[in-house]
Chain A
């Protein structure tokens, strides 16, 4: 039985954790919250120097050629500090989409740039306030031209290219061109910038075969669910300990509030959800690495458990803080915001629960 990360992987995790503790304390997240930066540039550059964007990219394309396990430990640490960097978009969604569906030419062109942090990629699926379905996606691709509107798109204003869901296909579109208009939008999490992308006869190319978009997206989401789960686990743990630390030093009715069972049991529940999420995330990482048959089920379970753990820890962190936790000055808001953004960005818990049971049915029928 060896259901744990290796010593080398733990070393990498510590290295990234040390860098982030030093360069990405929550005051950096606050700087992005209050300012106009697209993301924390010096944190992103440091992660690039550490090789993080290239972890999962094969060596022939300029990456480090490491396994998903290494990218998982990086995701956990980036999630822990709620780093305002294009990790979920560029390192996870865009990179994995290229690895999954890219032609050799596309991989040769983009993966080395992604690994070196010289390009930022993103994924654009949503078209407003509804879940994209084959029946409602209006963005169209034909004759090398892309037309439509995608919103919200994370990091869309600074991304070099986007992977776009156009009707039933995925297409790759470079964003610095005349046919693309970008407009920043306000969201619940100003520490991760989003925008609206409008395509008017934009030059684009298929990513993967025509009509395969939904099938590719499902596979992409399975991988992303696992990396996101690690980020959520990191964030949930940070929020839990933020609440714990406050409960130790805040006194009410003559004693630390952390000595009241109402608080203790709430934080114990945070820990229970966190450990369920961590264990499910580990299994997802293992299936992703081995290409195991259980991957679709493991991804769904990791996604559901981690989303619940992070949502719960981040909201109960504020509740534990009381009024001060609801102020703009408090650091509690970062995890609350990030938890919801991560919860919704590749489909919410409702959709994943339905998907999980579908996969269970398929497994039982097999």
Chain B
């Protein structure tokens, strides 16, 4: 056992480091980062510029085929690039959904001329994509969406569709250029059967984006309203009525894309706080309950890091990773929330004040952000269902609406 690179991996890592040194600024410490406020227009411009540079050098999506600007590389090389990139002060996060989920879905279902038109600008950061799935009445049960698409003639006489409805929790919609949208095209059949997927420009008339302010104060996601939005049939992805199949392609990629939040406060900072803060008659670190909690979270932190190493080992050997990585968000999200809350408790009543001591605001941000992280990209509950069903082979939940036409649901 070792954590070493293979000779090929080591050579690639060296190449990446040299390129990053020449093109970006190395972080002075590993906690330094661009503030993760992706509603900042200046940050978006910087991120687009960095993405373009990365794409030109062939590092943006290395696993993609060469024809789409990738290198046809193994996943481990992409991981090595990301590991190295995380040591540099560069703005990230704007393109994960587009390149991780939307464009792979396009690759699987869009016409060649569309791929020619859209893949490159997305890869180079010129155009940003979002995923328009969730709705007010369809979160975890995303197949329950109500936004409808009806056949219509386009002004030029061609076949088209008119979309009406509302999406919600759409990350980045306020700065995105394109999106993929799942709609209901046949309410007369059971819910999974009447869906159809499209892509569209977010500038299409009738599309209105309203940012949602979160309890954390940020506004990273949005409501998106569709009012008589007309798009040509050529923007359909997959067959009419097979949108669920297309969505599964997208969501499969989501689980690969949603990883660990990196660079956040963790055990080191909690130890520091416990050392520097009085509790009882001495520093909090002397308190046995504090020590017990620190130990528990250390075991989780290490366990997640090492579980990821097991996955990387499989990738490095060219094997398919096992299901072990499915535990990551189940552990990381509550840990983030609970550790934040506990760090605040160490500070006593003063734990509610912002910016009084080093890390106070950071731990408060984790406490409040953890509440969102436990929901985003699959709730704690849905992720446990996935582990139970796909890893342990337990039956899926009973679905009382499975065979009922969508427009008859809830009626007796």
Contacts and interface: CB of A to CB of B under 8 A. Distances in A.
Given A272-B327, A276-B300, A267 B309 contact: no
B262 interface: no
B299 interface: yes
Contacts of B317: 2, 4
Contacts of B398: 255, 259
A264 B316 contact: no
Contact of A3 (B310, B327, B383): B310
A205 to B, nearest CB: 37
Interface stretch (B98-106, B129-137, B221-229, B389-397): B389-397
Q: Give the size category of A's interface with B.
A: 35 or more
A110 interface: no
A279 B324 contact: yes
Interface centre among B2, B267, B291 (most CB of A within 10 A): B291
Contacts of A352: 295
B398 to A, nearest CB: 6
A33 B350 CA distance: 56
B384 A282 contact: no
A265 B381 contact: yes
Contacts of A2: 1-4, 313, 316-317
B394 A244 contact: yes
B392 A244 contact: yes
B385 interface: yes
Contact of A1 (B294, B313, B396): B313
Nearest to A265: B384
Q: Is the interface of B mostly helix, strand, loop or mixed?
A: helix
Contacts of A264: 384-385, 388-389, 392, 394
A256 interface: yes
B371 interface: no
A276 B302 CA distance: 8
B392 A267 contact: yes
Interface string A154-198: 000000000000000000000000000000000000000000000
A118 to B, nearest CB: 32
Interface in A339-357: 350, 352-354, 356-357
Contacts of B324: 275, 278-279
Interface in B119-171: none
Interface stretch (A88-96, A98-106, A131-139, A283-291): A283-291
Contacts of B312: 1, 3
Contact of A279 (B310, B385, B397): B310
A239 interface: no
Contacts of A83: none
Given A258-B388, A269-B384, 15 more contacts: A1-B309, A1-B316, A2-B316, A3-B3, A3-B310, A5-B1, A259-B395, A261-B385, A272-B327, A272-B330, A276-B300, A276-B307, A279-B310, A353-B296, A354-B292
15 contacts: A3-B3, A4-B314, A244-B393, A259-B398, A263-B394, A265-B384, A268-B330, A268-B384, A268-B385, A268-B392, A277-B303, A279-B310, A283-B306, A290-B1, A354-B291
Interface of A: 1-5, 69, 240, 244, 247-248, 255-256, 258-259, 261, 263-265, 267-269, 271-272, 275-280, 282-283, 285-286, 289-290, 298, 300-301, 304-305, 350, 352-354, 356-357, 360-361, 364
The 3 closest A-B pairs by CB, nearest first: A276-B303, A264-B388, A353-B295
Interface of B: 1-5, 9, 76, 267-268, 271, 285, 288, 291-292, 294-296, 298-300, 302-304, 306-307, 309-310, 312-317, 324, 327, 330-331, 381, 383-385, 387-389, 391-398
